[in-house]
Amino acid sequence: MSSEFAMFFFAMKCFLATKSLMAQAGHSKSFRRLQWQLFYALVLQTMIPITFIQGPFTVIYFTTIILDDSFEFLGHFLALSITMYLATDAFPTIFIIKQYRDTLISYFKRAKLIKVKPQQPASMTSVQLKVL
């Protein structure tokens, strides 16, 4: 619980510092927009380990203390959740930052528009191999 409190405390401190610095700076609108996108991506990338690692670990810890017993399936669930953490860690950056999101959307649009023609089966030909 104390680590979640520390994360929340420093996230709020970072938010307030970012807000005051962005208000003082005379940067362009696109720069400010990118800074806020990076901040939101950082916040979501902080929520992912809380959800996938600290949440299941806290459940295992408290069930072991309260019930004085351990459950094997909770260990398997923790292993699965750690794997999910590694698989989803980059998603906030990809989906929140506009340039990355637009690139991904255009890639899928392009991939959808390209039609693949079925290839004709090649005729059986003999291939000669040279022995070295």
Spell out the residues 6+ positions from residue 81 whose beta carbon is closer than 8 angstroms to its own: 52, 53, 55, 56
Predicted confidence (pLDDT) per residue in 26-60, tens digit: 778 888 788 888 888 888 888 888 888 888 888 88
Report which of 58, 61, 56 is spatially closest to residue 77, judged by C-alpha positions.
56
pTM score: 0.60
* Per-residue model confidence (pLDDT) at position 115: 54
